[in-house]
Chains A and B, each alone.
Chain A
């Protein structure tokens, strides 16, 4: 078996700040993962369909507009509806401390705010990937 971790890096919502998503995508590649990047303005449906077709192990969501409570949860709800809970979901952006437990509860397992290191993210994925 030559298993590689496949990660979907997705930007839901309307904000165009892709510096973080791109840096993370490159870092994950440099850590030996296959990273599918979808570009900007993805609807939850687009993200779910892509996750299915690409058979990813991880979905990394990046959102800096503050719409995370709505959109991250839309996505985890749809993952549950589609029986795709074996996919590890992590998220990054401007996320206030008080939102973190609610997002965890909704199924976003790792939350990485400003100042999280690339190593933190890589380690978290490697330790928590479910399959």
Chain B
């Protein structure tokens, strides 16, 4: 077998797929391979898609991908679903909405479980973006879990973050108030044919207006009807506009620095946790400390301090 990193760089789908598996599994081979891929990254444009459940994110992403394909670009899609905290398993069902593009060689879709990561992302998603980038995907789209909570971590990885809402029911506006306002580079109200569209649009506009008065940037709002392909061209234009602004203002570099910093912290965090809780040396220590806490011989803070002083020495 020729070298896996080489094959990823050539864009070989099976190598890309295997490489993603290696990073997801925290395989021992992954770090060295990733270092080699990293040198070839930096070209892909990363788009994050978040928003409430049932907003039609997967369908919207499919239509976006098709639009980019018509412009001759290649696309990588990461669709994230929650991992069950009880079994560690996951049902990854976002693909159902994307099957019509599944045989297009220019589109690569990968479903991932969160595997314990909070904030609507998966721990390996940073690596997956790098892998897609190194493999020559020009557009990378990330779909967050979308359980309706604020999934704000997406901005640490995406160049452009879209928040997708649907008319009616008020869930959408609640979600905005709960923290999605600040992260949106673009608001999309999908399913624009639904009753209540005008009302949701009006509510959102007034929220954006408040934001502008508070001295922040005016976030554009677009209506789409992904099922009927409505508003997709305009959305692509808007994404392009945002991206161009990032480039011309130099903010893209800040974005990228933020991504690398988050990733760096994440890697260190993961390694430290593994070191403390998974490796045999410390495992016994942790057990004996827990015993002490249980018997009230020691408080949890003191116990934590003892572990840290060992790690840090």
Contacts and interface: CB of A to CB of B under 8 A. Distances in A.
A53 B28 contact: no
Contacts of A26: 91
B95 A38 contact: yes
Nearest to B77: A53
Interface in B66-117: 83-84, 86-93, 95-96, 99, 102-103, 108-111, 113, 115
A31 B89 contact: yes
Contacts of A3: 25
B14 interface: yes
Contact of A4 (B25, B27, B111): B25
Interface residues of B, number: 33
Interface string A4-21: 101000000000000000
B17 interface: yes
27 contacts: A2-B115, A4-B24, A25-B91, A29-B87, A29-B91, A31-B87, A31-B89, A32-B87, A34-B90, A34-B113, A35-B90, A35-B92, A37-B93, A37-B95, A39-B93, A39-B96, A42-B99, A49-B102, A49-B103, A50-B102, A52-B14, A52-B17, A53-B17, A53-B109, A53-B110, A54-B95, A54-B110
Nearest first, the 5 closest Cβ-Cβ pairs linking A and B are A39-B96, A29-B89, A55-B17, A55-B21, A32-B89
Interface of B: 13-14, 16-18, 20-21, 24-28, 83-84, 86-93, 95-96, 99, 102-103, 108-111, 113, 115
